[in-house]
Amino acid sequence: MMMAQLQQEDKLNLAPKKFNMWIFIFTSFMFFAALTSGFIVYSGGSGKGIKIILPSAFMYSTAVIILSSVTFLIASRAAKQLQFAKQRMFLWITAFLGILFFCIQVYAWKILIDMGVYFINPNASQSFIYVFTSMHLLHILAGLGLLFNALSGSYKNIPQVKNLFRMEFAGIFWHFVDIIWIYLYVFLLLNQY
């Protein structure tokens, strides 16, 4: 009886944090919508698309981040089934894929620079590539922080309700950055020329 009461109190104490996460996600979504709207306004009247073919590195990073969402789902399912070793293993894989995504994105910047596409550019549409990707990478860093928080919780002897909360909290954000990247990538693909 006492344990159930403590778990209920933990859930009530964690609810405002989840609400704050949803507010942050909504704000971030509006931020990315504003960026893409700015691109449309800038390029719409003048017909200035980005006038390049995107590096294939962006396609590979997209596959990596989608795979990371799958590995996170496996980790989350393992946490719910009290399979902590499996939870940790798939959280580590997810974090590795998140870091790999980050590295591939930075490599894509190198390819862009080799193509002569710089941040400061007469065609500001091309500059938007750097703005979109750098803002997304900031969100990836925050997501990695949440992943490592969930990972550390899986190693500690914390109540299961808190372990699951950390997983859910990280999962909400990680899947959000996945969806945002797919949105940005498709948006850039549609505006290549």
Q: Which CATH class is domain 2-44+51-190?
A: mainly alpha
Q: How far apart, in whole angstroms, are the C-alpha atoms of residue 92 and residue 143?
A: 13
More confident residue, 5 or 168: 168
Q: How far apart, in whole angstroms, are the C-alpha atoms of residue 92 and residue 177?
A: 18
Work out the average pLDDT over 32-59: 86
Lowest mean pLDDT among 69-78, 95-104, 157-166, 173-182: 157-166
For residue 23, give the H/E element and its range.
helix 2-46
Res 83 pLDDT > 70? yes
Q: How far apart, in whole angstroms, are the C-alpha atoms of residue 128 and residue 147?
A: 28
pLDDT at 15: 78
More confident residue, 160 or 64: 64
* Domain positions in the chain: 2-44+51-190
Looking up tokens 């922080």 gives: 145
Query: 126-169, pLDDT tens digit by residue?
Result: 999 999 999 999 999 999 999 999 999 989 888 888 999 999 99
Structure tokens at 106: 């930075």
pLDDT at 18: 84
Structure tokens at 60: 């590979």
